[in-house]
Amino acid sequence: MREEPIWQHPITDEAVLPGPSNPLGTRWIGFLVQGDYHIGIHGTNQATLIGEAVSHGCVRMLNQDIQTLYSHVKLGTPVIVNP
């Protein structure tokens, strides 16, 4: 779990620091790690694309919504994702 996360491109390793250009938005709640592969719930810098298949498997939320969720969960909280 991270406030103001740094996004790292999965292919180029380019890092995007926290701010308006960061595709992770303002919060990151990771729930699957397999080696270098990470899946989580996070905010976004492109709210109009929520609901579209544009990520690498993550669940994207509006920044204000992920901030609310982030304040209610703690490390170790079980996560179930249904289609």
Q: Assess whether 42 carries a catalytic annotation.
A: yes
From 38, 56, 58, 72, the catalytic residue: 58
Tell me, letter by letter, the H, E, C secondary structure of 13-74: CCEECCCCCCCCCCEEEEEEEECCEEEEEECCCCHHHCCCCCCCCCEECCHHHHHHHHHHCC
Active-site position among 38, 42, 56, 72: 42
* Active-site residue, 9 included: no
What residue type is assigned to position 5 of the chain? P
Question: Which residues are known to be catalytic?
Answer: 42, 58
